[in-house]
Amino acid sequence: ATGRGTDLRLAQYLFAGLYLLNLLLVFRIYCRTSKVPPYVFFFMCCASYRIHSIFVLRLFNDPVAMAILFLAINLFLEEHWSWGCLFFSLAVSVKMNILLFAPGLLFLLLQRFGLLGCIPKLCICALLQVILGLPFLLVNPVGYLTRSFDLGRQFQFKWTVNWRFLPEEVFQNRAFHAMLLLAHLTGLGLFALQRWHRSKESILALLKDPDKRKHPSPPLTVNNILWQGGAQIVFVLFSSNFLGICCSRSLHYQFYVWYFHTLPYLLWCTPTAKLAHMPKVLLLGVIELCWNTYPSTVCSSLSLHICHGLVLLQLWYGTAPTPVPPTPPPSRRPTAISKKAQ
Number of domains the chain is built from = 1
One-letter amino acid for residue 134 of the chain = L
Predicted pLDDT of residue 22: 96
Q: Please report whether residue 216 resides in a domain.
A: no
Predicted pLDDT of residue 95: 93
Range of 117's domain?
A: 8-145+164-211+222-317
| pLDDT tens sequence across 155-207 | 888 889 999 999 999 999 999 999 999 999 999 999 999 899 877 778 887 88
| pLDDT tens sequence across 54-104 | 999 999 999 999 999 999 999 999 999 999 999 999 999 999 999 999 999
Predicted pLDDT of residue 276: 75
265 pLDDT above the threshold of 90 = yes
CA angle 209, 235, 104 (to 5 degrees): 50
134 pLDDT above the threshold of 60 = yes
Task: State the Cα–Cα distance between residues 163 and 341, nearest whole angstrom.
Answer: 77
Average confidence (pLDDT) over 225-232: 60
44 pLDDT above the threshold of 70 = yes
| pLDDT tens sequence across 201-227 | 788 878 887 777 775 554 443 333 334
Q: Please report whether residue 111 resides in a domain.
A: yes
Predicted pLDDT of residue 28: 94
Q: Please report whether residue 276 resides in a domain.
A: yes
Q: Please report whether residue 331 resides in a domain.
A: no
| pLDDT tens sequence across 295-326 | 999 999 999 999 999 999 999 987 544 444 44
Predicted pLDDT of residue 224: 38
Q: Please report whether residue 93 resides in a domain.
A: yes
The residues near 227 (Cβ < 8 Å, ≥ 6 apart) are 323, 324, 325, 326
Q: Please report whether residue 332 resides in a domain.
A: no
Q: What is the pTM of this model?
A: 0.87
The span from the first CA to the last CA of the chain, in angstroms, equals 82
Task: State the Cα–Cα distance between residues 299 and 283, nearest whole angstrom.
Answer: 15
- The percent of residues above 90 in pLDDT, for the chain, comes to 65
How does DSSP assign 315-327, residue by residue?
HHHSPPPPP-PPP
Q: Please report whether residue 156 resides in a domain.
A: no
Q: Please report whether residue 334 resides in a domain.
A: no
